[in-house]
Amino acid sequence: MGDQLLGLPGEILVLILSFLPLRDITACKRSCWQLRAVIKQSGLLRCRIRTMKNYIEDLSPPGLSTCDFLESLKKWEKAWLTPGVGKEVAAQTAYIPYRGRSDFLLRSGYLIEMRHGEAPGFSYLDLSSQRIVNGVQSSLDWTDIQLAANASIGGWALDVDQNLVAVSLLSRPSRKKRLEIRLLHFPTGTHHHSASLPDIQLDFEGKYDTTFGTHMEIMGDNIAVLLTHGSLLRRYQTLYLVNWVQGRVLCRRRTRVGTYFPALTSISEDILVLARKRDWALELCKIARDGDRSTFALWTLCMLQLPAVHPKTRTDLTSCNRMPSGAPHSFATPRSSTLPFRSSPSDSILAFSVCVSRRDKSFAEFRRLFFYVLPSTLRSLVAVFAGRASEKRDGESKPRNTASGWLRRRAARTRLPPPVIVPWADWGPRTTRWVSPSAAFGRQTLSGMRCAFVERGWTLRVLDFNPGRLRRVVAVRENDGEKVHIRLAVTTPNTTPAGHCFLQDFTSSLPYYELKRNGVKGNFIMDDEWIAQIESDSVFEPGGYSISVHSVLGNSPGSQ
């Protein structure tokens, strides 16, 4: 068999080896001198090995020649290593009038605006359709989707990979409040074809409710909804788990208001990450079936404590993840692109924003920090604690039950063990990275393992947590003499001082790579291929938004 394989032409060997995983290619390279020579002389295989080492997903279009693949890969790597907004990229500017509070994000080649207020709905711009013909770039063509004018949007969630937009709308019946989750197809705005019902109704108590808010996250076939509701005297938080394909509520959990921050994200299709306010910790919650296998429950596996704060410190934690973070993304039908790889790896970074403040007669302190953690770290903790809990349940002796009817079904339900409390010192210092920006404002933006934010002074900071992607990065200088400041491999731990808010100094050591660029104004959002700057006319009386769209490669993917 070995003689028959080695007797094949070199081009056939390269084609066969290109389909193997990294471990098998390395084994073939060590097996004999002939295969080692084939791998060493093949530029395609060398690129495959490098990208697999750097945790880059290979989603190259079928039929791409080796020459085109290598040329496209070089352009992509150069653009990824030196992201910028300046003269080296082709840009367009559009003006959008102010239509109420809006959220902007850039996802899979779509620039999306989610609108609240008087004109609820969403608008999007398909950047892949923008072309340069005869040196003239086509105008920015927005598509507008309107919702009911009298509806109040409580929250929204978007999953471009499933073409799903979930919007929560609040209606007011005579006796009960009702939360309506509308399931829309992206980008048409019509009813999603995979959903059995056009919307899902969630009733909750409180005829005279005065407070309301929702936070949503799409987890495959399920949607997690964190609802805050209640009167001035009694307020509650209810966590719903809804199957949007079947159109039914799987389970719900009701707690007192103040139990959770409005931060909800997922790290897989059955694992939720909640932020506990009273306990100042991250709660890892698993979707589990009860003993009769017909109902579901939210099983709190563990609570990861955050750095301890002073008892009188006010804390606020928000999630900066506006895209599904469950791994791995399938990309069953990836959009056409000139890039041979999509840069988002399966382990997309999770980003959180933390604000702490404390006042006294003699001092006042307000601090804002960002911290980051990899979902693979949290999934490994889930696997450890879930395994321990299952072993504990299997070792317990089950009492004999002679009851009948609903008593027997109730006794058959799985008794979930109490959650494990993990101190900050046992998990945080080695698996997280805390960054204290210099008077940061605006928003964070995520693109796979990259995170970016703009500091006061118009300094853009890009943090890349991929361990191998920026291994070969070097400092560069633009034509106008402006420097691009790049810091290589921040691997040493940094210490966040205690001050008046934290009880003691704490460290974090998750490695990352940093790039800084001056002269970037407004909010900065990005995905793998596109960069957008969003500036508002005025903070107090906004008249509209000025949006400048740039291509990372310097030309639109659809250019001719």
pLDDT tens figures, 429-448? 999 999 988 765 567 788 77
Specify the pairing of strand 459-464 against strand 450-455.
antiparallel
d(CA 360, CA 454): 31
Residue 241: the pLDDT is 92
Average pLDDT over residues 105-124: 82
Q: Are 346 and 335 in contact (CB under 8 A)?
A: no
pTM for the model stands at: 0.81
Predicted confidence band at 139 (pLDDT cuts at 50, 70, 90)? low
276 Cβ partners below 8 Å, 6+ apart?
Answer: 259, 260, 261, 282, 283, 303
In which residue are the tokens 């002679």 written?
402
The CA distance from 249 to 242, in Å, is: 4
C-alpha to C-alpha distance for 441 and 520, rounded to whole angstroms: 13
Q: What is the pLDDT of residues 52-88, one digit of tens each?
A: 776 666 666 666 677 777 777 777 767 666 655 544 4
Output the CA–CA distances (angstroms, integers) from residue 392 to 11, 140, 271, 386, 525, in the order listed.
55, 59, 20, 10, 46
Contact 109, 339 (CB under 8 A): no
The pLDDT value recorded for residue 371 is 93
Higher pLDDT, 264 or 131: 264
Q: In 3D, which of 218, 241, 226 has the Cα closest to residue 165?
A: 218
* CA–CA dist 466, 81 (Å, integer): 12
**Quick one: pLDDT at residue 149?**
63
pLDDT of 483 over the 60 cut: no
Q: In this model, does residue 354 exceed pLDDT 90? A: yes
- CA dist 211 and 72 (Å) reads 52
Residue 560 pLDDT grade (very low, low, confident, very high; cuts 50, 70, 90): very low
CA–CA distance, 331 with 163 (Å, rounded to integer): 11
pLDDT digits (tens, 9 = 90+) for 156-192: 888 887 889 998 887 655 455 678 899 999 888 899 9
Strands of 336-447, DSSP E: 341-342, 350-359, 364-373, 420-422, 432-435, 445-447
CA atoms within 13 A on the CB side of 456: 6
pLDDT score of 426 more than 90 = yes
Strand, helix or coil at 42?
coil
At residue 421, the pLDDT reads 92
Secondary structure element (H or E) that encloses residue 229, with its range:
strand 222-230
As a whole number, the mean pLDDT across the chain is 76
Considering only residues 507 and 386, tell me which one the structure prediction assigns the higher pLDDT.
Answer: 507
Rounded to the nearest 10°, the torsion over CA 429, 504, 366, 352 is 20
Which amino acid is present at 127? L
Q: Is the pLDDT of residue 478 over 50?
A: no
Reading phi first (left if > 0) and then psi (alpha if -120 to 50, else beta), residue 247 is in left
Whether 399 shows a pLDDT value over 50: the answer reads: no
